[in-house]
């Protein structure tokens, strides 16, 4: 079978991607388990090659990438807030690591590198929806690192003939997302709190909006990007925005609960509104989201309900 590699493959998105890729490919997963978890791979660990290591180790990447058709680069310190707290660690993992991935993929002759970027590169520019041709305005070290990674990917295409695609994820959610970290994303935090009988905590007034994207659609976008000849940067999202107040109401409705949210001070680095224009991904990758917010939340809440103790 054809070999592919997933960096950060024990993480939330990476493990979902590795599981789907196994249906068609021989899969190698690289993860240093700093934020990823082996339990995310428990259903497939006997069918993947797992390498515990960091994307900051260039020689490890060169060995692991040998013979691979494609590299899915998911490995990163995946948090705006964590990058605010520790910008040096974020830069080392996200920027140095991405450069290492591109160098190793070039040297090993991989046909495509699909890079996980982020909607955070747009910052707080008020124009909606966000389009790939807009001038970026990153507001956190995390966003800076992701944008710089995109530029590196483009330069490697232009200078070395590497084929690259950068996917700007918008607020990905779904099974295996970690609710326990202090840097956890909003949906697993809300679900975990509610399953404990506690009200959700909202930073700010709750009227900030996000374009929530179910992880299975992100997985599909990665595979489409690998299979496509298209290069460049693409928004990967649902194409609709939802306020955090509405999000809390929807999750409570699924759980049959009605608790008043607790409001706290806004967090530094957070943006006010986010909405993607996904027409470029539709046209050039053939991407079409299959899950709206309600369908994704139903599956996510069911997954967490089976695993978290009330």
Residues 76 and 225 in one domain: yes
- pLDDT value at position 309? 57
Q: Is 180 part of any domain?
A: no
Q: Which residues of 103-129 are buried (b: 16+ CB within 10 A; e: fewer)?
A: bbbbebebebbbbbbbbbbbbeeeeeb
Q: Is 163 part of any domain?
A: yes
Residues 302 and 287 in one domain: no
Say what the pTM is: 0.95
Residues 124 and 140 in one domain: yes
Q: Which residues of 205-227 are buried (b: 16+ CB within 10 A; e: fewer)?
A: ebebbbbbbbbbbbbbbbbbbbe
Q: Is 156 part of any domain?
A: yes
SS3 247: helix
Residues 49 and 99 in one domain: yes
- pLDDT value at position 87? 97
Residues 17 and 80 in one domain: yes
Q: Does residue 160 have an active-site annotation?
A: no
Residues 125 and 268 in one domain: no
- pLDDT value at position 147? 98
Residues 112 and 202 in one domain: no
Residues 45 and 114 in one domain: yes
SS3 24: coil
**What's phi and psi for 162, nearest 5 deg?**
-65, 140
Q: Is 178 part of any domain?
A: no
Q: Is 16 part of any domain?
A: yes
How many domains, the chain?
2
Q: Spell out the per-residue pLDDT of the chain, length 310, in tens.
A: 899 999 999 999 999 999 999 999 999 999 999 999 999 999 999 999 999 999 999 999 999 999 999 999 999 998 888 999 999 999 999 999 999 999 999 999 999 999 999 999 999 888 999 999 999 999 999 999 999 999 999 999 999 999 999 999 999 999 999 888 766 789 999 999 999 999 999 999 999 999 999 999 999 999 999 999 999 999 999 999 999 999 999 999 999 999 999 999 998 777 889 999 999 999 999 999 999 999 999 999 999 999 875 4
Q: Is 109 part of any domain?
A: yes
Q: Is 240 exposed, middle or buried (0-12, 13-18, 19+ CB in 10 A)?
A: middle
Q: Is 161 part of any domain?
A: yes
Instruction: State the CATH number of the domain containing residue 269.
Output: 3.90.25.10
**Spatial separation of the C-alpha atoms in residues 113 and 59, rounded to whole Å:** 18
Q: Which residue out of 142, 152, 169, 287 is catalytically annotated?
A: 142
Instruction: State the CATH number of the domain containing residue 56.
Output: 3.40.50.720
Residues 131 and 190 in one domain: no
**Spatial separation of the C-alpha atoms in residues 250 and 248, rounded to whole Å:** 5
- pLDDT value at position 182? 67
Residues 203 and 106 in one domain: no
Residues 120 and 79 in one domain: yes
SS3 96: helix
Residues 217 and 245 in one domain: no
- pLDDT value at position 194? 95
Q: Which residues, 6+ apart, have CB-to-CB distance to 306 below 8 Å?
A: none
Q: Which residues, 6+ apart, have CB-to-CB distance to 258 below 8 Å?
A: 252
Structural domain boundaries enclosing 41: 3-173+213-239+276-291
Q: Is 193 part of any domain?
A: yes
């Amino acid at each position: 079978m054809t070999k592919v590699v997933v960096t950060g493959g024990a993480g939330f998105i990476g493990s979902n991607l590795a599981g789907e890729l196994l249906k068609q490919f021989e899969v190698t997963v690289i993860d240093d388990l700093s934020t990823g978890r082996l339990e995310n791979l428990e259903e497939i660990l006997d069918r993947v090659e797992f390498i515990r290591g960091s994307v900051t180790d260039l020689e490890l990447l060169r060995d692991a990438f040998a013979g691979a058709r494609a590299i899915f680069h998911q490995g990163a310190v995946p948090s705006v807030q964590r990058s605010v707290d520790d910008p040096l660690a974020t830069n080392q993992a996200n920027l140095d690591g991405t450069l290492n991935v591109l160098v190793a993929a070039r040297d090993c002759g991989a046909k495509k590198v699909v890079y996980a970027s982020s909607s955070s590169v747009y910052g707080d520019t008020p124009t909606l929806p966000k389009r790939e041709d807009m001038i970026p305005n990153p507001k956190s070290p995390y966003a800076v690192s992701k944008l710089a990674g995109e530029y590196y990917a483009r330069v490697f295409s232009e200078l070395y003939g590497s084929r690259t695609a950068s996917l700007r994820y918008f607020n990905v959610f779904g099974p295996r997302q970690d609710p326990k970290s202090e840097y956890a994303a909003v949906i697993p935090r809300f679900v975990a709190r509610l399953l404990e009988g506690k009200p959700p905590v909202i930073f700010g007034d709750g009227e900030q909006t996000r374009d929530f994207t179910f992880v299975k659609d992100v997985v599909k976008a990665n595979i489409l990007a690998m299979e496509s000849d298209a290069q460049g940067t693409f928004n990967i999202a649902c194409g609709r925005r939802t306020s955090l107040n509405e999000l809390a109401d929807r999750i409570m409705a699924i759980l049959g609960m009605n608790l008043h949210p607790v409001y706290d001070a806004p967090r530094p680095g957070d943006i006010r509104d986010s909405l993607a224009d996904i027409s470029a991904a539709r046209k050039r990758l053939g991407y079409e989201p299959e899950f709206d917010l309600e369908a994704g939340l139903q599956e996510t809440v069911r997954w967490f309900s089976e695993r978290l103790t009330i």
